[in-house]
Structure 1
Amino acid sequence: NAVDASNFRLHCTPAINLFPRRGDRIHLHPGIAEHHVLADRTRPMDFEIHGVEQVEGFGDGNAPMQRFEPSYGAQPRSWHERRSAFYALRRQPRRLSTGQRRTGPRSSYVGSEVFLSLVDGEQAPYSHQLRQLGMQLWCSNRDLPLHMPVGKSSTDFMLDEGGPVASIRCVAGPTRPRSGVTAGDTRWRLISHLQLNYLSLLDAGDDGATALREMLTLYHDPHDAAARRQVDGVRRIASRPIVRRIPVPGPATYGRGLEITLTCDDAAFEGQGVYLLASVLRHVFARQASLNSFTETVLCTLERNEVARWPAHLGNRPIL
């Protein structure tokens, strides 16, 4: 696990498979409320919709007649301004075509599809005389990068515009794409995490550790076995009230806070160590403590007992 010169490369940068693209026009017909968003209907498997940047409605001419805003977007507007043209998006896993069901997909990643509907300010179907919709999209190439012939030609990438570059090599990857579709209660868990109650993490018994593991699960790849093992390696979390000197300028000041003891299994963090995780959680705990309190995090392991103890960290959660 030693780090040496072979672990570093100069003149490297991440290459993200995300780019803007004008989507295919959607022809509007009476009685159809939801429309399939496609970047290129001649090659639907080579593009996946990441997001919709802009939606415009067209009539018989080439000039847009109506611009639509995202239904749940935070768009700046004045108090007297009324807008009545919005679009809503729905994403669902892509269904296999007849040919894919017969011969199988080209990879294990199928991806998702996006559907768009037009609504007014009351979330009712938008009444219009439009004929087409034009869209500016953000797209990826779905699973197409997995089939790149990396290292088999003079360069792995081509520049859109000319430049003094002889070749561009792929050092690592490409990584497997990940679907943006979440199932079950994941969305609700993410929403509830926006207003985290740290007291639930410090419940007596195993409930606190269970709540902390569920929170950490939101931040790791569900297909990453090593990350799953590390989350399961968080065994216990406990707290007790303490009195410490508060690290503030001026005369000596003492206050009450919480000592939070995090116990982990060293075997679950083999090759990486648990110190980094505890260092990050120390700041998470402080963000949930009030301004007039503090947290003091202690890291223990099943094998070595107390490993690290951080000084008191003032809470930075504002009080309204």
Structure 2
Amino acid sequence: LQPGICEHHVLADRTRPMDFEIHGVEQVEGFGDGNTPMQRFEPFYGAQPRSWHERRSAFYALRRQPRRLSTGQRRTGPRSSYVGSEVFLSLVDGDQAPYPHQLRQLGMQLWCSNRDLPLHMPVGKSSTDFVLDDGGPVAAIRCVAGPTRPRSGVTAGDTRWRLISHLQLNYLSLLEAGDDGATAVREMLTLYHDPHDAAARRQVEGVRRIASRPIVRRIPVPGPATYGRGLEITLTCDDAAFEGQGVYLLASVLRHVFARQASLNSFTETVLCTLERNEVVRWPAHLGNRPIL
């Protein structure tokens, strides 16, 4: 640890940084000049009760970002199509301010992957794909499938904050002026797709606008004709972002999502439009999950 530096790059092996990628941090301990741990750090975004959090004052927070190519990699290219990510750790107190310490170094227990090394495995090119360290009555070990393409881990704090923001979506979020309504829906959709899937990310960005206006329709309930107030929600998407799959399926799912956000004694009527074709489909009024009084 160096004074004046509040964020530290986490490396599993400094001599081979490209062969290991940090998947998760299990334990963090601070050491002084000796070999005895002086301070145990807990995850700042850990799922513990507030009383537990208030009794402790030493925490660590993680930040993950895509790995930047080195000068040599930019000149000759990376050794594979997967570059991976890097993890940075900061020590904070209970107020998320920099943690005051007299520590010299940190010791960590990490979950690591081999980054892109599985992509270089010569699967099926020799008499066996794996060998035993101590030997045994095994002639060959074959890899039936895979290895799959590596993926970067997700920091726990980012995931939990995104899940919490998901709870804020309601019909008022859809009434926001400008692109704020579409932004809320896009942020919600990012929780349900692989962040490394470029096609899914492109489809999420293809949700361009969401507009709403109050309407009056006959409510689809048994008995005498009953009319009520609701929202007409116009979803505008870009056809180019859904090439090969179409936008109808996503809009059909969002129609039910919008209905779940309807207020008491209300409904939603979803209209799908695209930048190229204007109005594509208009679904009938859909009651929400709340009971009709």
TM-score, normalised with respect to structure 2: 0.64
Residue 141 (str. 1) matches residue 114 (str. 2): yes
Q: Where does 1:145-160 land on structure 2 (aligned, <5 Å)? A: 145-153=118-126
Equivalent pair of 1:235/1:264 in contact (CA under 8 Å): yes
Equivalent pair of 1:55/1:69 in contact (CA under 8 Å): yes
Residue 277 of structure 1 and its aligned partner are, at CA, apart by 0.4
How many residues are aligned here? 293
Q: How far apart are the structure 1 equivalents of 2:159 and 2:36?
A: 42
Q: 1:144 to 1:198 in 2, by over 3 A?
A: farther
Q: How far apart are the structure 2 equivalents of 1:124 and 1:203?
A: 34
Residue 285 of structure 1 and its aligned partner are, at CA, apart by 1.4
Residue 281 of structure 1 and its aligned partner are, at CA, apart by 0.7
Equivalent pair of 2:21/2:85 in contact (CA under 8 Å): yes
Q: How far apart are the structure 2 equivalents of 1:310 and 1:265?
A: 19
Unpaired runs of 5+ residues, structure 2, are none
- Please identify which structure carries the higher helix content: 2
Q: How far apart are the structure 1 equivalents of 2:134 and 2:175?
A: 55
Residue 67 (str. 1) matches residue 11 (str. 2): no
Deviations 1:196-255 (A, max 9, x none): 465564679999778867876787678866546645765775544344565679998653
1:307 alignment partner, one of 257, 280, 283 = 280
Residue 136 of structure 1 and its aligned partner are, at CA, apart by 2.2
Q: 1:149 to 1:127 in 2, by over 3 A?
A: same
Q: How far apart are the structure 2 equivalents of 1:65 and 1:202?
A: 53
Q: 1:175 to 1:236 in 2, by over 3 A?
A: same
Residue 68 of structure 1 and its aligned partner are, at CA, apart by 0.9
Q: 1:122 to 1:310 in 2, by over 3 A?
A: closer
Equivalent pair of 1:288/1:317 in contact (CA under 8 Å): no
Q: How far apart are the structure 1 equivalents of 2:70 and 2:228?
A: 65
Q: How far apart are the structure 2 equivalents of 1:99 and 1:177?
A: 22
Equivalent pair of 1:84/1:121 in contact (CA under 8 Å): yes
Q: 1:118 to 1:293 in 2, by over 3 A?
A: same
Residue 257 of structure 1 and its aligned partner are, at CA, apart by 1.4
Q: How far apart are the structure 2 equivalents of 1:248 and 1:160?
A: 70
Equivalent pair of 1:289/1:315 in contact (CA under 8 Å): yes
Equivalent pair of 2:24/2:153 in contact (CA under 8 Å): no
Judge which range, 211-220 or 70-79, deviates more. Answer: 211-220
Q: How far apart are the structure 1 equivalents of 2:285 and 2:132?
A: 51
Q: Where does 1:217-296 land on structure 2 (aligned, <5 Å)? A: 226-227=199-200, 230=203, 238-244=211-217, 255-262=228-235, 269-296=242-269
Equivalent pair of 1:266/1:302 in contact (CA under 8 Å): yes
Question: CA-atom RMSD, angstroms?
Answer: 5.8
Unpaired runs of 5+ residues, structure 1, are 1-27
Deviations 1:88-116 (A, max 9, x none): 33445545556546654323443333233
Judge which range, 48-57 or 217-226, deviates more. Answer: 217-226
Q: 1:271 to 1:94 in 2, by over 3 A?
A: closer
Q: 1:77 to 1:258 in 2, by over 3 A?
A: closer
Q: 1:35 to 1:185 in 2, by over 3 A?
A: closer
Q: 1:155 to 1:281 in 2, by over 3 A?
A: farther
Q: 1:162 to 1:117 in 2, by over 3 A?
A: farther
Residue 117 of structure 1 and its aligned partner are, at CA, apart by 3.3
Residue 184 of structure 1 and its aligned partner are, at CA, apart by 18
Q: How far apart are the structure 2 equivalents of 1:243 and 1:62?
A: 73
Deviations 1:295-315 (A, max 9, x none): 133446789987766554444
Equivalent pair of 1:236/1:262 in contact (CA under 8 Å): yes
Q: How far apart are the structure 2 equivalents of 1:82 and 1:310?
A: 54
Judge which range, 156-165 or 140-149, deviates more. Answer: 156-165
The sequence identity of aligned pairs, in percent, is 96
Q: 1:40 to 1:302 in 2, by over 3 A?
A: closer
Q: How far apart are the structure 2 equivalents of 1:277 and 1:50?
A: 31
Q: 1:160 to 1:109 in 2, by over 3 A?
A: same
Deviations 1:50-95 (A, max 9, x none): 3322212346776644321123444324279521212233445545
Equivalent pair of 2:115/2:150 in contact (CA under 8 Å): yes
Judge which range, 282-291 or 310-319, deviates more. Answer: 310-319
Q: 1:104 to 1:82 in 2, by over 3 A?
A: same
Q: How far apart are the structure 2 equivalents of 1:250 and 1:63?
A: 76
Q: 1:101 to 1:123 in 2, by over 3 A?
A: same
Q: How far apart are the structure 2 equivalents of 1:184 and 1:164?
A: 47
Equivalent pair of 1:92/1:181 in contact (CA under 8 Å): no
Residue 286 of structure 1 and its aligned partner are, at CA, apart by 2.5
